[in-house]
Amino acid sequence: RTPYRLHFRRPCFIYYQAYTEMVVGQTLSDAIVTLSSMNVIAGELDA
């Protein structure tokens, strides 16, 4: 029997990829607030 290989991405990675589309047309201060409200965990982005 061969073991199954799984690959998954953590939720923070998907949220972070959508960030550029979320901040188009916003001011810098709004972009900072948007990033902080997403609750991105930086350690999960490296995995």
At 6-32, the pLDDT tens digits run 877 777 777 788 889 999 999 999 999
The CA distance from 1 to 18, in Å, is 39
Q: What pLDDT is stored for residue 45 in this prediction? A: 65
Q: Report which DSSP code applies to 2.
A: P
Element (H, E) at 36: helix 28-37
The CA distance from 15 to 40, in Å, is 8
Going through the chain in order, the beta strands assigned E by DSSP cover none
Q: What pLDDT is stored for residue 8 in this prediction? A: 75
Residue that the structure tokens 């609750």 belong to? 39
**Is the separation of the CB atoms in 43 and 10 below 8 Å?**
no
pLDDT, tens only, 35-47: 888 877 776 666 5
Q: What pLDDT is stored for residue 46 in this prediction? A: 64
